[in-house]
Structure 1
């Protein structure tokens, strides 16, 4: 059943949500044995739709009582521990230096935040700009946080590890930097938590195209210099950037929510950031291409064909469309019988975004016309997608588990 706005009746009111409460400690101690995820977790189908924006967004805003988050908060990562949602969010002070804060909620909408940042600039490659845009996974009881270190000159993809979300060990930038290096500029690492049959972990990163990297231990990464995915559709023709870590679908593929910017065409507003979904395939045989779960009225199309049926003016992407079949998608396997893999290209992607800027908080802010997702969790029978609003505040959109 599609989620309707009536779902929010019990948590809506005419009064705005106040700035989240602050605490000097977490609601419970986190150890390697702390339970992760929803106890009734159900793997998704592709795509997860429809999402509805919470009517009382934003759920987190800047806190003038804390200098480190006094200007903006946005772009959160998310996870569930002990039936509690935790957000790790980017925060900026008046000088726009970024730190990463921590907040938690028992219902997904009302949060208490830790009064101090859990990650801030300490290294030369973080000086001035700070630590930005976290994404988080947990493997064997250890949290792996990818973030962007920014020294006001070059953004560098980094990783930090922890067992309790509070004490973190930073590691060097993931790729060599300097003149002549391929990935001197690197951002936005989304890690797949399950290794492939060869024992390697996989990560997608980049803020113009997607690159693919592998690692035996989640700390040492080797990246391919060949782009894995490039902008293909009008709404994403400026750039594409990974969102939350991919989630495994019921048929063994991986669903990746991603962010994209358009240069403006076919009715889209120039520089608008929107959110889409694509499907990745790591180990399914070529015969899986005929799966009925991937059938579409648009038929099979190769990566060079331009998809049809754009509808940039529709508000149904996030707010009112209960018919997820209106979102069309196409296959991007270029050759019939070719086995899709992480060295190939996305198996499919939505032809239109499912989340677009529609509210004042999303259309006007530090950067106008932005919704930017980095946190996705399943919680109590719903998918909660946490996203930045115009680089100034945090919103959430919710979908039913299929």
Structure 2
């Protein structure tokens, strides 16, 4: 056998025994990241079967965070990071059929948390009970105004129609509920399923605060497409519509991509020097409808950039996720396909920290240090 044939045979055997390494995922200069999971700290929030509180609707003690703790909002308050996370009890047998409540966790370093023993936002005997019971309060996003008013957007789930609710607070513990955000926009909007609100924010010095776009508060929202809404008071919102009066989708899921199933808005959007940056969650469709490099039905994280002068116009979008389920704690739990579901993003000590739900079961975190940029999660 000549030497050339021997060389080719050896190369073939080497490739078979040592598959090619994953591809580096280099992010464009307009994107945020990449985010690195610190070693040995995740998940940062897990279930706690010892936490009880008296539920006024059930009229008994409830193990309110005994089944799952996931999908977190995050904010910086008085030099600490506060994570407001979704917690499920054991009242049902599957996702969406238990009761969810919002818990409070506080950290000085972003990784070690002290939690309150009772939830801070939950269904109760109030004027929102019809929207929130029995499913509860789900999937929060939180931001703060320049004057220190905290605003939380969350899904009100009565197991019939999911609706975006809004509440305000001065301390992140005591919340005033204002009801569905589209309550004054008309029945055709308030009674149509809607969720996942990402209000636009900006960095003012070292603080990330709610900002206006063209004189109005602006949010991106939705899961089957990215939609938008505007407000003058942060409580009452008007959906952005097209010339026929229908909801206007600014981006949609894309066949053959990681976001082929859903494009669900993530943490508060950020005004940067490049535009308005929205981080979102993409669900991958099975088979040739999705990106076959990634697991079917998995949730990964994408980014899209909108024009600052025309916030309805998408000007750039990642074709692959910058964060995807890779660690064991992101691929084991009640959502077996794997999930990194991003909802909380804070600017803390000159770094960006992202908090996300892991497989609908626990809370993880990852860090982007602008002084030491890293690539996105590697591509298979």
3-state SS in 2 of match to 1:275: strand
Residue number in structure 1 paired with 2:20: none
Residue number in structure 2 paired with 1:65: 50
Distance 1:156 1:214 in 2: 17
Distance 2:71 2:78 in 1: 23
Is the 1:277–1:349 contact (alpha carbons within 8 Å) kept by the matching residues of 2?
yes
3-state SS in 1 of match to 2:293: coil
> Residues 178 and 392 from structure 1, CA distance in 2 versus in 1: closer, same or farther, beyond 3 angstroms?
farther
Q: How does 1:254-333 map to 2 (within 5 A)?
A: 254-264=276-286, 265-283=291-309
Shift of 1:161: 0.5
> Residues 181 and 211 from structure 1, CA distance in 2 versus in 1: closer, same or farther, beyond 3 angstroms?
same
Distance 1:356 1:120 in 2: 30
Q: How does 1:68-79 map to 2 (within 5 A)?
A: 68-79=64-75
> Residues 249 and 181 from structure 1, CA distance in 2 versus in 1: closer, same or farther, beyond 3 angstroms?
closer
Residue number in structure 2 paired with 1:194: 211
Residue number in structure 2 paired with 1:10: none
Residue number in structure 2 paired with 1:347: 315
User: What per-residue deviation string (whole Å, max 9, x for no partner) do you get for residues 246-300 of structure 1?
Assistant: 112134x2211110101033322110100011112222xxxxxxxxxxxxxxxxx
Distance 1:223 1:181 in 2: 8
Q: Verify: 1:82 aligned to 2:78, yes or no.
A: yes
* RMSD of Structure 2 on Structure 1 (CA): 1.9
Distance 1:275 1:170 in 2: 30
Residue of 128, 137, 158 corresponding to 1:131? 137
Residue number in structure 2 paired with 1:235: 258
Shift of 1:179: 8.1
3-state SS in 1 of match to 2:329: helix
Distance 1:181 1:241 in 2: 18
3-state SS in 1 of match to 2:355: strand
Q: Verify: 1:395 aligned to 2:364, yes or no.
A: yes
Is the 1:54–1:395 contact (alpha carbons within 8 Å) kept by the matching residues of 2?
no
Residue number in structure 1 paired with 2:326: 358
Which piece of structure 1 moves more, 268-277 or 359-368? 359-368
Is the 1:178–1:184 contact (alpha carbons within 8 Å) kept by the matching residues of 2?
no
Is the 2:182–2:236 contact (alpha carbons within 8 Å) kept by the matching residues of 1?
no
Q: Taking structure 2 as the reference length, what is the TM-score of the superposition?
A: 0.75
Q: Verify: 1:217 aligned to 2:210, yes or no.
A: no
Distance 2:71 2:187 in 1: 30
Structure 1 unaligned blocks of 5 or more: 1-43, 284-340
Q: Verify: 1:107 aligned to 2:109, yes or no.
A: yes
User: Bigger radius of gyration, 1 or 2?
Assistant: 2
Shift of 1:196: 1.8
3-state SS in 2 of match to 1:184: coil
User: What per-residue deviation string (whole Å, max 9, x for no partner) do you get for residues 350-370 of structure 1?
Assistant: 111011111222112111211
> Residues 182 and 112 from structure 1, CA distance in 2 versus in 1: closer, same or farther, beyond 3 angstroms?
closer
Distance 1:181 1:350 in 2: 30
Distance 1:148 1:89 in 2: 12
Shift of 1:154: 1.1
> Residues 221 and 178 from structure 1, CA distance in 2 versus in 1: closer, same or farther, beyond 3 angstroms?
closer
Shift of 1:181: 4.7
User: What per-residue deviation string (whole Å, max 9, x for no partner) do you get for residues 80-123 of structure 1?
Assistant: 12221110110111112100011111111000011110000121
3-state SS in 1 of match to 2:180: coil
Which is richer in strand? 2
Aligned residues: 299
Is the 2:269–2:279 contact (alpha carbons within 8 Å) kept by the matching residues of 1?
yes
Q: Taking structure 1 as the reference length, what is the TM-score of the superposition?
A: 0.71
Shift of 1:48: 1.6
3-state SS in 1 of match to 2:258: helix
Residue number in structure 2 paired with 1:47: 31
Shift of 1:342: 2.2
3-state SS in 1 of match to 2:64: helix
Residue of 150, 166, 177 corresponding to 1:143? 150
